[in-house]
Amino acid sequence: SQQGEEDPQALSIQEGENATMNCSYKTSINNLQWYRQNSGRGLVHLILIRSNEREKHSGRLRVTLDTSKKSSSLLITASRAADTASYFCASYNDYKLSFGAGTTVTVRA
């Protein structure tokens, strides 16, 4: 499998706090993407970071990529109850996305 691990598996935070999750991958990648999934429904694309980029921002999201360590992190700042979902990283290479196991984030009001 191209994809490694994500941690933590689950995260529970208070509204307004930041949520940070990490993922690792095993092989070289073209880019790395983060997706969100609500209760087994479809995956929604959040952000894409290319292999030659180190950091990217989109609204309350901040993604980092360290290709030397084959790892990425997703930070959600000022979390809201509506951010409650599962978050997946997916490494892209060879015409396919390889997904991690995901982090389940629960934001308490």
Partner 1 sequence: EPEVTQTPSHQVTQMGQEVILRCVPISNHLYFYWYRQILGQKVEFLVSFYNNEISEKSEIFDDQFSVERPDGSNFTLKIRSTKLEDSAMYFCASSLPTGSEAFFGQGTRLTVV
Least separation in angstroms between residue 103's CB and partner 1 is 12
Shorter beta-carbon distance to partner 1: residue 15 or 53: 53
* CB 22 to partner 1: min, Å: 16
Rank residues 18 and 27 by Cβ distance to partner 1 and give the closer one.
27
Helices and strands in the chain: count of H runs, count of E runs = 0, 11
**CB 35 to partner 1: min, Å:** 8
Q: Which residues bind partner 1 (CB under 8 A)?
A: 3, 30-31, 33, 35, 40-45, 48, 88, 90, 92, 94-102
Q: Which two tokens stand for residue 74?
A: 């997703």
Bridge partners (DSSP) of residue 97 are 92
Of residues 24, 46, 7, the one with CA closest to residue 91: 24
Which residue, 75 or 101, is less far from partner 1 as judged by CB? 101
Angle at 34 between CA 32 and CA 39, to 5 degrees: 150
